[in-house]
Amino acid sequence: MAHLNSLANLQHEGRPLKRGSAKKHRRLSVTDEGWQGCVELSQELGISVSEIIESLGRGEFILSRPLKKANM
């Protein structure tokens, strides 16, 4: 399930662009578990999954590896 603002963020009729340029549809493949984790993070942060990806690509979020993961 996408964040409520995801589709609204693609349509900019009469309002300023948040990032200075219009978003475009992209295709992304991800497992159900990976998507669910993104949705949960989206809900926790209060932003859409697409905004999380946008922020990662712009270097506004920093990723770090877990110290240890059991199933790796």
Domains of the chain, by residue range, sit at 28-61
The count of C-alpha atoms lying within 13 angstroms of the C-alpha of 64, restricted to the half-sphere facing its C-beta, is 3
Helix, strand, coil share (%) of the chain residues, nearest 5: 40, 0, 60
Residue 14 has pLDDT above 80, yes or no: no
Determine the Cα–Cα distance for residues 72 and 67; give it in Å rounded to an integer: 11
Residue 25's pLDDT is 87
pTM: 0.62
| Interval 29-42: pLDDT, tens | 999 999 999 999 99
